[in-house]
Amino acid sequence: MNPNNMNSKRTSYVHLHPFLRWAGGKKWLVRRINDTLDINSYSSYHEPFVGGGAMLFHLQPKKAYISDMNEQLMLTYLNIKDHIDDVIALIDGYGIGEAAYYDVRKIRTNNPIEKAAQFIYLNQMSYNGIYRVNSAGDYNVPWGKRINYQFDFDNLRKVSKYLKHVRIESMDFEGCLKRIRKNALVFLDPPYTHSKIENGFIQYNQKTFTLDDQKRLSIMIDKIKSRGAFYILTNADHVVIREVFDKGDRVIPITRISGIGGKNAQRGQYEECIFTNTNITL
């Protein structure tokens, strides 16, 4: 992957990287998508499961629409876009270390700028970047012992500059349809619905994204196609998922070593693949 080649028609490609640690982040995929994806040939770019935004920051489309159902996440994007100096000043003032971490964790605020700063700080400094709250809604992840960690404010400023061109919303993925027109590119990276065979039946991990959500997504893809637009979907390579997204388009299996599922995971069930009506190759 060579971002300079890929964006050869552009003069101002500045390297950006995700500012959050995000479960299911696609940094690894970005490294494998090659020059066959020419972002300049699409009329607009849509990413309705944006998470940490690995693909967005790699492609840096000029006309982009991003969204996610995680409100706190999208509030953070908005404040990086509009109030970067204030966000950085707050993070910088928090300090590094165990005591600082637990002080930041205790902050209760309605100020959106401070919420964004706190979100970035805790994401980087907590144990594994996990987001977890207790029944009272309090964030309860322990300190991650990143004693020498330094925030990359330079990257954050560049991200802020880039986001000036990006429309940011917090919503369910279907909301993105309202903006999709002919020749748009939609990158879809939903949570995967894992399954395992139990007593001869397929059981799904339905906590975050159910099989019905996958079917809803499949119908949305039909609508994307009917508008003359393009999609790239990443998903688990599983017989049921292949059936749900069978549209006669290309299915590209991806082989990679992954920790998903832990040591007891049944190999083969957690392989991934790409479904697409574009001509990308990996």
Ligand X SMILES: C[S@@+](CC[C@H](N)C(=O)[O-])C[C@H]1O[C@@H](n2cnc3c(N)ncnc32)[C@H](O)[C@@H]1O
Positions touching ligand X (CB under 6 A) are: 22, 24-26, 48-49, 51-52, 54, 68-70, 172-173, 189-191, 208-209, 213
Measured from the CB atom, is 67 or 79 closer to ligand X?
A: 67
- CA–centroid distance for 78 within its chain: 15
Q: How far is the CB of 173 from ligand X (least distance, A)?
A: 4
Cβ closest to ligand X, residue 18 vs residue 101: 18
Nearer to ligand X, 21 or 96 (CB): 21
State the minimum distance, in angstroms, from the CB of residue 280 to ligand X. Answer: 16
Rounded Cα gap, residues 108 and 136, in angstroms: 13
Q: Which is nearer to ligand X, 43 or 70 (CB)?
A: 70
The 3-state DSSP class for residue 66 equals strand
Shortest distance (Å) from residue 21 CB to ligand X: 9
Supply the minimum distance, in Å, between the C-beta of residue 57 and ligand X: 9
Distance CA 254, CA 234 (A): 10
- Which is nearer to ligand X, 73 or 91 (by Cβ)? 73
Give me the least distance between CB of 53 and ligand X, in Å please: 6
* N residues, the chain: 282
